[in-house]
Structure 1
Amino acid sequence: MEKKISVIVPVFNVEDYLKACLLSISNQTVQNIEIIVVDDGATDNSGDIADQYAKEDQRVKVLHQLNGGLSAARNTGLDYASGEYVCFIDSDDWIEPDYLEILLEALLKFEADIAVLKMKKIQDYHQITNLTENKNQWELMDRQVAMKNLFMNNKIGYSSNNKLFRSELFLNLRFPVGRLMEDMATTYLLIDRSQLVVVNQSEKYHYFQSPNSILRGSFNPKRLELFDIQNEIIQFIDEKYPDVSVKVRTRTVYAAIRMIMAMIENQYSNRKNFDYVLAFIEKYQDCLNEDPDFSKKLKYLAKFIANHPNMIFSFTRKKIIGNFLSKIEMMR
Structure 2
Amino acid sequence: MNEEVPLSIIVFAFDEEENIGPVLGELRAWLEQHEPGAEIVFVDDGSRDRTADAAGRALRGMPHAVLRHERNRGIGAALKTGVMAARGELVTFLPADGQIAPDAVATLREAQARSGADVVLSVYDRRDDGVDRKVFSFGVRALIAAVHGVWLKSDGPYLFRRRLFDPDQLRPDTFFLNFEFPIRALSAGLRIDTVVIACRPRRAGHSKSTQWHRIVGVARDLVDLRVRRFRGL
TM superposition score category, shorter chain reference: 0.7 to 0.9
Q: Looking at both structures, which has the greater relative contact order when contacts are Cα pairs under 8 Å and sequence separation is at least 6? A: 2
How far apart in 2 are the matches of 1:63 and 1:176?
19
- Say if 2:192 is the partner of 1:197: yes
2:170 corresponds to? 174
Give the structure 1 partner of residue 127 of structure 2: 121
Residue 27 of structure 2 corresponds to which residue in structure 1? 25
Could you list the structure 1 runs, at least 4 aligned residues long, displaced by more than 4 angstroms after superposition.
Answer: 209-212, 233-240
| Structure 1: unaligned runs, 5 residues or longer | 124-146, 151-155, 241-332
Which of 1 and 2 has greater Rg?
1
Q: Distance in 1 between matches of 2:207 and 2:113?
A: 38
Cα displacement string for residues 207-232 of structure 1 (whole angstroms, at most 9, x for unaligned residues): 7497654315xx64x65211212323
Does 1:231 pair with 2:223? yes
CA distance in structure 2 between the aligned counterparts of 1:33 and 1:194, rounded to whole angstroms = 28
Give SS of 2:170's match. Answer: coil
- The yes-or-no answer on 1:62 pairing with 2:77 is no
8 A contact 2:107–2:195 mirrored in 1:
no
Moved more, 206-215 or 104-113: 206-215
Contact 2:76-2:176 within 8 A present in 1 as well? no
Residues 141-190 of structure 1, C-alpha deviations (whole Å, 9 max, x = no match)? xxxxxx7331xxxxx32x5x42111112103543512x453322332013
Can you give the 5+ residue segments of structure 2 that lack an aligned partner in the other structure?
130-148
Q: Does the Cα contact within 8 Å between 1:5 and 1:34 map onto a contact in 2?
A: yes
Relative distance call for 1:229 and 1:65 in structure 2 (3 A) is closer
- Distance change (3 Å), C-alpha of 1:104 and 1:59: same
Matched, 1:87 2:86: no
**2:69 is aligned with what amino acid?**
Q
- Is the alpha carbon distance of 1:176 and 1:42 closer, same or farther for their aligned partners in structure 2, counting shifts above 3 Å? same
Contact 2:170 2:180 (8 Å CA) reproduced: no
- 1:51 deviates by 1.3
Q: Deviations over 1:248-287 (max 9, x none)?
A: xxxxxxxxxxxxxxxxxxxxxxxxxxxxxxxxxxxxxxxx
- For residues 67-103 of structure 1, what are the alpha-carbon distances to aligned partners after superposition, in whole Å with 9 as ceiling and x for unaligned? 2222222111111111011112111134334322222
SS in 2 for 1:17: helix
- Give the CA RMSD over aligned residues: 3.1
Residue type of the alignment partner of 1:71: G
2:12 corresponds to 1:10: yes
Kept in 2: contact 1:117–1:204 (CA 8 A): no
Aligned length: 202
2:190 and 2:119 mapped to 1: Cα distance? 9
Q: 1:79 to 1:33 in 2, by over 3 A?
A: same
User: Following the alignment from structure 2 to structure 1, what is the Cα–Cα distance between the partners of residues 187 and 201?
Assistant: 26
Shift of 1:44: 0.8
Report how far residue 62 of structure 1 moved. Answer: 0.8
Opposite residue 194 of structure 2, the aligned amino acid is V
Give the direction of change, closer, same or farther, for the CA distance of 1:59–1:205 in structure 2 (3 Å limit): farther
Determine helix, strand or coil for the equivalent of 1:168: helix
Q: CA deviation at 1:191?
A: 2.8
% identical equivalent positions: 21
Partner of 2:138: none
> Measured at CA, do residues 186 and 63 of structure 1 come closer, stay the same or move farther in structure 2, by a change above 3 Å?
same
1:205-244 → structure 2 map (5 Å cutoff): 205-206=199-200, 208=202, 212-216=207-211, 220=213, 223-232=215-224
> Partner letter of residue 121 of structure 1?
R
Query: Normalising to structure 2: TM-score of the pair?
Result: 0.72
User: Does the CA contact (< 8 Å) of 1:39 and 1:46 recur in 2?
Assistant: yes
